[in-house]
Every structure is written in C-alpha cells, then in structure tokens.
Homo-oligomer: A and B are copies of this chain.
C-alpha cells in the first residue's frame, strides 16, 4: 500500500506539475520505476534559451517555500527576467518518494538514492522535456547546495553560474554524525517498525525528538537570546518547539525524511574523481558564489570556506543572520536582502 498523507499535494504545495522521466537506475544499484519529478516553473524561456535558472530543494522543503521566500518581481529570482525551474528532490514527498511508491517497493523498501541520482534525473528532465542545454544559474541551499555542487562537477559545461548556500560539496564527518542523530531520533521510535508503519502518526514520538533536535541545531543560541521566537509569535519555548518546530515536521512522512537524510549524509562530489575532492572541485567551470550563513551550526562557514578554496572561479561570502541555518525559511528579511544582493551580482557577471 501507499501511505495516505494529505500534507503532500497541490493544496499545500502547489502548483506544481508531475513529470515522469521514465525508469531511473540508481547509483547504489536500485531502480525507481516511472520516476516522477514535481516541477514548479516561473517565467518563460527566452528566445536565446539562456535565461534558465534551476533551484533544487532542501531537506523537508518543497518548491512552495522556494516560491514564497525567494521568487518574485524585483527579486534576484525574477520571473520577468528568468525562467525559474524548481525541481523537488526525490524523496521530498512531492516527487517520487517512499510514501507515494506502491508496495512492495515503497516505505521501508524504497531504494537508497544519492545526490547524483537527483542531478541525473533533473538533467534528463531539463534536456529532454524542456529543451534546455544551458543554465544561467543553479542555486540551492542546504541539500540544494549539495545538488548545486553535484551539477557543476558532473555537468561543468552546462552551468554558467552557481550559488551553493549553506551547504557542502562533500559531507563532513561532523555533519554525517549530526544527520545520523537526526535519523536515530526517528528510527528509534518502535512505531517506526523498520519503515512499515501504517500511518506517520505512529511515529509521533520520533518525529517530535527529530523536531527538537532541529530546534537546537537549526537556529542558534543568539536566536533564542535575542527573543526571536517571541518576535515570530511564540509565547514560550514550549510553544515554539511544539507549534513551530513540531508543527512543521509532524505532518511529514518519516520514510521520506529518512530517504533525504541518507542522501544528505552521503553527498560527495569526489565520487567522480576517486575520492579526490580538489580534483572534483577543480572541474568546475561555472562562476561560483559560495554563500554560508554566519550562525549556521549545521554547515558552519569554515566547512564551506575549505571547499571554496578548491573551486577555480569562486567568491566566498558569509551571509549574516542570527537565525542560523533556518533563516532559509525566510524568517529574517535582512538575510533575504543580503542573499538577493549576492545573487543579482552573480547574475550580472558574464
């Protein structure tokens, strides 16, 4: 059976289009039959075909938050100027995911997916169905940054500019462990039943633990010290943890989250070069802005800076926000302003 989950769908996350790219052979050996990608587009491809911008999604995110927080007239991602294609990553609940794949291949049997699988799937979609052979920009945050790095290393001739925000090309050991603890929070719930629960509500305790850990790592100590939860409308720490953090994750599917988490853990562009990260990043031809966030506990600036030094044509710039990693939600308008400034500058380069 598939898991009925009203959270995922056009009502909450539309509009998007479901596009099949056929069967997708996976790097880990499995296969996704009739792989469907949920795609939201804004604007139109110009006659020269050189104004396409690809935005891959982050852990737990969908095209909706990208649309709401990052796309708009006058913004860097302006649909009047660019053909903006937001592709939901495999496993995010809109595209093919454990919860919407029929048994026996769904739920706990869903195959392992890598960042490289997403990028190959996106490449197939863009080239075969949209007729796109050049991307003016690939920009993504967090797991979207992982996909951005994979794009410029795997298809260096297709991407003119790239902006990985708050994410890495190769998951660090520390980050790997951090994600492991997030996965443990869910898997340790007996209701998880190795992925064969009947409803996500059976994994409520695990999802709550997972949400609390995101409350710790996703924001920052300065965020709490500066009364940001109150400013966002929450009256106490409990109110914030339950009604913001748990409220966000509670309706999601545990297997979908774990599919993305495993993918996140194993992000590594140096798979293309026998483990040599410098060689992999040396392949990049895109003009790149590496954009970490000042108070990010998940992808600290230092991790991003080490990688940036290995990219031939890259600028390193730290976006400032005490909101930490989850400023990505759009909680800090000043952060969005800084980011727009960087992306406009990057888009203005040849």
Q: Is A334 part of the binding interface, using a Cβ–Cβ cutoff of 8 Å?
A: no
Q: Is A268 part of the binding interface, using a Cβ–Cβ cutoff of 8 Å?
A: no
Cβ-neighbour of A188 out of B175, B209, B241 (below 8 A)? B209
Q: Is A184 part of the binding interface, using a Cβ–Cβ cutoff of 8 Å?
A: yes
Contact A172 B306 (CB under 8 A): no
How many identical subunits does the complex contain? 2
Q: Which residues of B contact A223 (CB under 8 A)?
A: 174
Cβ-neighbour of A184 out of B175, B178, B212, B221 (below 8 A)? B212
Q: Mark A198-233, 1 if CB is under 8 A from B, else 0.
A: 000000010001001101100111111100010000
Q: Is A46 part of the binding interface, using a Cβ–Cβ cutoff of 8 Å?
A: no
Cβ-neighbour of A172 out of B173, B178, B180, B224 (below 8 A)? B224
Report the separation of the CA atoms of residues A224 and B222 in the bound assembly, to the nearest whole angstrom. 25
Cβ-neighbour of A181 out of B188, B209, B222 (below 8 A)? B209
Output the residue of A180, A205, A219, A306 with the most chain B CB within 10 A: A180
Q: Is the interface of A mostly helix, strand, loop or mixed?
A: helix
Contact A220 B177 (CB under 8 A): no
Contact A237 B173 (CB under 8 A): yes
Contact A216 B184 (CB under 8 A): no
Contact B212 A174 (CB under 8 A): no
Residue of B nearest to A219 (CB): B174
Q: Is A335 part of the binding interface, using a Cβ–Cβ cutoff of 8 Å?
A: no
**Which of these binds chain B: A32-40, A95-103, A297-305?**
A297-305
Contact A177 B306 (CB under 8 A): no
Contact A177 B303 (CB under 8 A): no
Q: Which residues of B contact A303 (CB under 8 A)?
A: 221, 225
Q: Is A190 part of the binding interface, using a Cβ–Cβ cutoff of 8 Å?
A: yes
Cβ-neighbour of A216 out of B178, B189, B209, B237 (below 8 A)? B178
Report the separation of the CA atoms of residues A223 and B172 in the bound assembly, to the nearest whole angstrom. 11
Q: Is A42 part of the binding interface, using a Cβ–Cβ cutoff of 8 Å?
A: no
Report the separation of the CA atoms of residues A137 and B190 in the bound assembly, to the nearest whole angstrom. 49
Interface residues in A260-319 by Cβ distance below 8 A to B read 297, 300, 302-303, 306
Least CB distance, A277 to chain B, in whole angstroms: 12
Contact A216 B181 (CB under 8 A): yes
Interface residues in A51-104 by Cβ distance below 8 A to B read none
Least CB distance, A264 to chain B, in whole angstroms: 14
Known: A184-B209, A190-B190, A212-B184. A174 touches B241 (CB 8 A): no
3 closest Cβ pairs, A-B complex: A173-B224, A174-B221, A174-B224
Known: A174-B223, A188-B189. 7 other contacts (CB 8 A): A174-B220, A174-B221, A181-B212, A181-B213, A221-B300, A221-B303, A225-B303
A-B contact pairs, 25 of them (CB 8 A): A172-B221, A172-B224, A173-B224, A173-B225, A173-B237, A174-B219, A174-B220, A174-B225, A177-B212, A177-B216, A177-B224, A180-B212, A181-B209, A181-B212, A181-B213, A181-B216, A184-B185, A188-B209, A190-B190, A221-B302, A221-B303, A225-B302, A225-B303, A225-B306, A297-B297
